[in-house]
Amino acid sequence: NNKIIYLSSPPTEQNIFLKTTNVPVTMKITATTAITSFLILGAATTIPTIDAFAPTFLTRISQHAPSTSSTSSTCLLMALDSSMKERLDGIRRSYLALTERLADPDVIGNSNLLMQVMKDRSQSEEVVQAFDEYTQFETELVGAKELFQEAGDDNEMREMARSEIKDIDAKLEELEERIKILLLPKDPNDDRNCMLEIRAGTGGSEANIFAGDLLDVYRKYMTDQGWQVTMIDSSPGDDGGYKNVVLEVKGDSVYSKLKWEAGVHRVQRVPATETQGRVHTSTATVAIMPECDEVDIKIDPKDIEMSTMRSGGAGGQNVNKVETAVDLVHKPTGIRIKCTQERSQLKNKELAMKMLMAKLYDIENEKREAEERARRGDQIGTGGRSEKIRTYNWKDSRVSEHRLGQNYPLQSFLSGEIGQIIDGLIAKDQEMKLRQLSEEGAN
């Protein structure tokens, strides 16, 4: 039922208006020069008359497509409009400028500057390459359409040209999708390292053991990813597992992947401590805090009350106790951090401050995200702290990811293969952002 109409006599942009008569139309502008094509969805009983349309109309995307499935890419078909192309041109220009800078001897001599330039450049590399491919295909399409035109009555030629046009169209579509995703606003914290905290929730010993199980799973995943993991603080549970455990995770794109783990995890199983074989439900809360430095969070030393094992009684040379634990209270927020990890008290102090900064930064992020979530309605967020994100059911051997509405095999999860779930969440987030963008565009 979908038709593609080609205008044989190329009109200029200025003198075409498209009158739609209740026909779902998605316009696809493939070349700003010769030929414009219109993809008409659904059964069109009347072919819309084509008079002229102004450039502004060209950039508007009308999405009246019957939505059979929300993921159907033809329904979300948005061409790269001229403002987007301008933006891409700008990105390409800066990319080339940065590439030139890499050859600058001043830059080469300064290793910090060199790393910064390389980092900035690599961030745009993917989208520039995709855009280059895109413009190349656009040129090829022009050629193919010219061929089609010149074919005249030669059916064989027309068929060849037509199938080539179809191929290129498909490739252009794919590239458009990719470019759009690459242009989506990125979470500024995505590239950061982070702290992962697992806290046992309701369920007593069983919750502690479950927290320990989650820790094992995450550890396996982190090793697979090649990330560096350091345990910062832990309070073991009496019967196993942990009441609370904090890890520092360093590596590539750590936050962008782990952020999806934040929230309340629920487990349904017969606990190891259960004598009568009843199934219990317990919870553990995972918090993911992007690492931050003094640029992100300023802490007034006056707001901090620090106590150590040496407070009270004599100190200095008079006492030799090796308890170097540091206890930190941030008075304005009441956040309390205990750090016992290091043998050097100074190092414990620094670690505790690091944790405090991460927590404060996390609170700010959470506030900001909550505001955005409220504004956007039902968007899949990186989870309010108390959002129940997953349920693990031992009897049915299944993990239910509630944000995706999907189940996964429990065994793969327990072996540390959580990549599948994370990829699904990332994909869904991108899809929602794309939809958001198109809705905003239509308004």
Q: Which residues bind other proteins (CB under 8 A)?
A: 306, 308, 310-312, 314-320, 322, 324, 342-347, 349
Assess contact for 44 and 23: CB atoms under 8 A: yes
Q: What phi and psi values does residue 288 have, to the nearest 5 degrees? A: -120, 120
- The two most distant CA atoms of the chain are separated, in Å, by 104
Assess contact for 390 and 402: CB atoms under 8 A: yes
Cα separation, 27 vs 37, in Å, equals: 7
CB of 116 to other proteins, least distance (A): 24
If the CB atoms of residues 56 and 344 are measured against other proteins, the closer one turns out to be: 344
Cα separation, 146 vs 150, in Å, equals: 6
If the CB atoms of residues 153 and 238 are measured against other proteins, the closer one turns out to be: 238
Which pair of tokens denotes residue 190?
Answer: 């995505």
CB of 345 to other proteins, least distance (A): 4
If the CB atoms of residues 150 and 216 are measured against other proteins, the closer one turns out to be: 216
Which pair of tokens denotes residue 284?
Answer: 């553990």
If the CB atoms of residues 28 and 354 are measured against other proteins, the closer one turns out to be: 354
| Distances 353 to 229, 232, 368 between C-alpha atoms, Å | 19, 12, 23
CB of 233 to other proteins, least distance (A): 14
Cα separation, 229 vs 195, in Å, equals: 10
If the CB atoms of residues 319 and 427 are measured against other proteins, the closer one turns out to be: 319
Assess contact for 194 and 290: CB atoms under 8 A: yes
CB of 308 to other proteins, least distance (A): 6
CB of 56 to other proteins, least distance (A): 58
CB of 205 to other proteins, least distance (A): 18
CB of 208 to other proteins, least distance (A): 15
If the CB atoms of residues 148 and 218 are measured against other proteins, the closer one turns out to be: 218
If the CB atoms of residues 30 and 205 are measured against other proteins, the closer one turns out to be: 205
CB of 222 to other proteins, least distance (A): 16
Cα separation, 193 vs 251, in Å, equals: 6
Cβ neighbourhood burial of 37 (10 Å; 0-12, 13-18, 19+): middle
For residue 137, the number of C-alpha atoms closer than 13 Å in the C-beta half-sphere is 20
User: Of 268, 244, 289, 261, which Cα lies nearest the Cα of 401?
Assistant: 261
Assess contact for 68 and 25: CB atoms under 8 A: no
Report how far apart the first and last C-alpha atoms of the chain are (Å, whole number): 28
If the CB atoms of residues 152 and 312 are measured against other proteins, the closer one turns out to be: 312
CB of 313 to other proteins, least distance (A): 9
Which pair of tokens denotes residue 171?
Answer: 């490739």
If the CB atoms of residues 219 and 280 are measured against other proteins, the closer one turns out to be: 219
At a CB cut-off of 8 Å and minimum separation 6, what does 427 contact?
A: none
